[in-house]
Structures are given as structure tokens and as C-alpha cells.
Amino acid sequence: MKRRQFLGGAGLILGAGTLVGTSAGVAEGAAPGASPPIAAGDWVALRDLFPLTRDYVQLATFLLASHPRPVSEAIEAHRRAFDENPADYWHAHFQTIDREICQSAAAYMGGAAKNIALTDSTTMGLAMVYSGLDLAPGDEVLHSVHDHYSTDMSIEYRAQRTGARVRKIVLYEDPAAITVKDCVERIRSAISDRTRVVAMTWVHSVTGVKLPIRAIADALETINSKRSEERRILFCVDGVHGFGIENEDISQLGCDFFMAGTHKWMFGPRGTGVIWGSDRGWQQCKPVIPSFSASYDTWMGLAPEGTAPTGEYMTPGGFHAFEHRWSLPKAFELHLQLDKAKVQSRIHQLNTQTKEGLAAMSHVKLYTPMSPDLSSGLVCFDVEGMHADTVVKRLHDKGIIMSSTPYREVYSRFAPSLLNSEQDIEQALAAIRELA
């Protein structure tokens, strides 16, 4: 007997007087006065959807998003339903809700919903993929010195368990001077016969450099065309700081895995994230945490192995902050309403304004490339004679929230987003000028 039939027979189908789930599990009628759709490119209306304080110029929202009204309304609707009748509400949704969320993610990301797994963060996604990869002693994982700690340690932990080798390379000495040709050549020339995984970061949060993922993928495909299927290189990408900015179909980037949190540029609920994997990638990655649908059905003998969507096997089971995960579709819907092309154009516009303003200051060294082809939403720089943390504090005192890079190399960092205006940028630039 299928679980759906069992639960129905056990009397767990909700009665007419309780909340009935609609698309992506949002309780029908649970959020009266829900926000109407927003017009594409209406940045003023978008800003009004956020409770984010206006006492400061917010230039660090990429760290952790404030919830826009459609997301917070969905969270509250789910939370209220769980608080009023948790067992019935969960039983009414848990069999189908993850697939509906993945369908919503695929509508935004591109590709098929079956290739998407749900996580709680970029770090969880990185750990799940790297921990699940088929690696043998002597196999090599190639990545760069510019990656985040979460990539470093996820790969290192897997190497310790398998005997695989980890090798780091430098992709640039001067990030502002990086070129596509040089970057791709450094990766290509570093690959050995033992290289099985190339792990890269789409946008480096230490410098603001955006790697040419498609060009790297093309170079790897040339190498892979000369290899047997079992020795082909897997290309894995931490995509969090391009996701929600760049107008890309993730399934066409050329990578085998793409991991991203959705609580940064996507404005998704805090504690949510996604993994997109190619068919070939998923075939070489085993689950790390049992799912509560696909693997459970197999274990119980309710369904033969391999009949559920691949991403469902890789989505961790257990009980999560369901009111947050189940509200994730509202973030994807909001971005699609805004129009992906307009989102990309707007963020690049504000970042170009920021970089041009900083580049004109003699006491500032700009690290992020000027070209939007090699940068995205992060702008990193130094003020002469001043530690980055001091710059952050001085600007905070002037009502401007920014950040510094949490790496061995510490730079000051702006992140102009859809919640900023041209006037915000000019106010921040004026404050930097006063630091001379």
C-alpha cells in the first residue's frame, strides 16, 4: 500500500473545516490581503515590500535577506497552520510539497525539477555533494585559493575519508586585471590525468570576481571528450553570489553541480537552499542524509529504487523549519515577476556606478573587475592606510551598513542590490571620499 493510500485510510485527510493546501502548500485563505504581483522592474515598489529599516543605507543585504512581504506572509500562514494542527497539516502536504517547491525552483533556474534537491544553505549543499561523490585513493579534486571556507573544508573532509588528493591553484594575482583567457588557461593547464573533480566558485566573495563558468565548462568538455566515461571530470560550482542576480539558465551553464543558498540575493526564507545536478553528476553522487520520501519508500518496499526524482533522494529528510522551506516558491515567483533580465541589468548598473566612483578616488584601491562579464553584485576595495574593519565601522557611524571579507585577505566590501537606489550609492561614495 502506498503511503498516500495508508494515510487516507487512517483518516488523516483533512476535513472541510481545516486548511486545504494549494500551490506549493500555501494555505488557502490563510493570508488575507496577500501582496498583489509586482510590476517588472519596479524597484521602489519592491523596496516597500521589505520591513528593512530605513535608518541605514543597506549595502550588506547579501549576507542574509530580510523577508519580503510575500515570503513573510507565506511563512506566517504555514506557521499558523502548523501551530493550530501540526500533525494534520504536515500529513496533508509532506508527500507532494518538496516536488512542488522543486518545480517552482526549476521555473526560475531552468532545467527539470527532478534534478533539484532542497537544502538549508549553500554550506549544506556543498557538504552533501562533496561528501557523496565517488572518489578513490589517488583521485584529485582541483579547486582554487579563492574559495570559501565551506568549500575548502567539505573537500578536505571527503579527501580524508577517501584518500583522494586536493590541489589548490591561483586563478589571478590581481583580481581587477583578470581575463577570461588567462583564467581558463590556468584551470586547463592544472588538470592532470588524476583530476576527477573541478570545484569552482561563480562569484568570489573575497574579491567580487565572477568566473566565466560557461568558458570553463567548454574547456573541461574538450578534455572530457578524450576520456572514458568513468574518468570524466565533474564540474561543481558554488553559485550563491550569482544566483538571484545573473540571468542564466543554470542547466545550460555547463556544470554538473550548482549549489546555492536562497536566503541571500534571492530574498528567500532564511535557512533555505538548492542543489541542481546534471543527470551525469547525480549518477556519481550518493545520498548522505536519508530522504523522507524517496529512500523511505524504497526502504519500506513501497516503491522500487530509482522511481522517484533524483533530487528527492538527495533532499535531506528529518523535520525542518517547514514554514520557511515551504514558503520558498514565493521568492522565486517574486524574482520572475521582477523579470530576470531586468534584475541583472539593475544590479550591474548599481555596481558599475559604485566601481566607477571608487576607481576615481586616489586613496582607494579597487579589487573587483570593472567589466560586468567578470563581476556581479559584490565590490571589494581598500582605503589607503585604514583596515577594512575600521572602514566598515566608520561608515556604520555615518548610517551606511557594509561588510568586510571574512578571509585571510580582508577587504572592505559593498554589495549594491535591488533594494538600493542611485542616491544610496552616492551617499556611500561620499562617505568613502571623506576618509581620505
CATH at residue 138: 3.40.640.10
pLDDT at 95: 83
Q: What domain count does the chain have? A: 2
Instruction: From 314, 336, 358, give the residue that closes a domain.
Output: 336
**18 in a structural domain:** no
Cell numbers placing 252: 545550460
208 & 267 share domain: yes
Taking the C-alpha atoms of residue 102 and residue 98, their distance in angstroms, rounded to an integer, is: 6
Asked whether the beta carbons of 166 and 110 are under 8 A apart, the reply is: no
Q: Which long-range contacts (CB under 8 A, 24 or more apart) does 85-90 make?
A: 85/18, 85/19, 87/12, 88/12, 88/14, 88/18, 89/14, 89/18, 89/19, 90/322
Instruction: From 316, 336, 356, give the residue that closes a domain.
Output: 336
**54 in a structural domain:** no
Nearest to 129 by CA among 199, 39, 178: 199
Taking the C-alpha atoms of residue 359 and residue 346, their distance in angstroms, rounded to an integer, is: 20
**63 in a structural domain:** no
- Residue 383: strand pairing partners: 364, 386
268 & 369 share domain: no
* Helix residue ranges, H only, 163-230: 180-190, 213-224
Taking the C-alpha atoms of residue 129 and residue 281, their distance in angstroms, rounded to an integer, is: 9
For residue 436, with 0-12 CB atoms within 10 Å meaning exposed, 13-18 middle and 19 or more buried, which class applies?
exposed
pLDDT at 251: 97
pLDDT at 307: 57
Instruction: From 336, 365, 392, give the residue that closes a domain.
Output: 336
**40 in a structural domain:** no
**228 in a structural domain:** yes
pLDDT at 312: 84
Asked whether the beta carbons of 266 and 292 are under 8 A apart, the reply is: no
pLDDT at 322: 96
The range of the structural domain enclosing residue 156 comes to 99-336
Nearest to 277 by CA among 258, 290, 261: 258
pLDDT at 297: 64
Per-residue pLDDT of the chain (436 residues; tens, 9 = 90+): 344 443 433 333 333 233 333 434 444 434 444 678 899 999 999 999 999 999 999 999 999 999 999 999 999 999 999 999 999 999 999 888 999 999 999 999 999 999 999 999 999 999 999 999 999 999 999 999 999 999 999 999 999 999 999 999 999 999 999 999 999 999 999 999 999 999 999 999 999 999 999 999 999 999 999 999 989 999 999 999 999 999 999 999 999 999 999 999 999 999 999 999 999 999 999 999 988 876 656 666 666 666 566 888 889 989 999 999 999 999 999 999 999 999 999 999 999 999 999 999 999 999 999 999 999 999 999 999 999 999 999 999 999 999 999 888 899 999 999 999 999 999 999 999 999 9
**10 in a structural domain:** no
Please give the order of strands across the beta sheet that includes 412-414. 364-366, 379-383, 412-414, 403-404
**69 in a structural domain:** no
For residue 341, with 0-12 CB atoms within 10 Å meaning exposed, 13-18 middle and 19 or more buried, which class applies?
exposed
Nearest to 51 by CA among 64, 35, 74, 67: 67
332 & 226 share domain: yes
Q: What residues contact 394, with CB distance under 8 A and at least 6 apart? A: 386, 431, 435
